[in-house]
A = this chain, B = another copy of it.
């Protein structure tokens, strides 16, 4: 049994920009040399999340539309009184979708479905530099 840690870095456009990180996470699993275990993908930050989705153009419009219904950007948020940065909806979405995802790997491969990709969702209201912490445990 052992552990393997890697930090991924990338840029996003914000406003529900969805980044497919499946390939990068799979590369971390391969580089680890581990064959059976779990891979935790964690977003350090309070305005972005990690989940899975079928990464295709239709859903890349449907998911942001669903987020607009779930936490509309144009209603009042008390958070705005503190920072004046207008991203109350970003925080609410991030807390609902959640910052962490744990995926088993077996035979050296993540047990994702054929049409299932790991997606980083940046809910903040502008471009940002982002990181994802990848931590593997296994043997």
Contacts and interface: CB of A to CB of B under 8 A. Distances in A.
B103 A88 contact: no
Interface residues of A, number: 60
A13 B112 CA distance: 22
Complex copy number for this chain:
3
B45 A113 contact: yes
A59 B44 contact: no
Nearest to A4: B36
A77 B62 contact: yes
Interface in A40-79: 40, 42-46, 51-54, 56-59, 61-63, 66, 70-71, 77-79
Interface string A86-118: 001001101111111111101000011101100
A19 to B, nearest CB: 14
- Consensus secondary structure, chain A interface: mixed
22 contacts: A1-B1, A2-B139, A3-B37, A38-B102, A40-B104, A42-B104, A43-B113, A46-B53, A46-B113, A46-B115, A52-B99, A58-B80, A59-B78, A62-B79, A62-B88, A98-B98, A99-B101, A100-B102, A104-B133, A106-B133, A111-B133, A137-B137
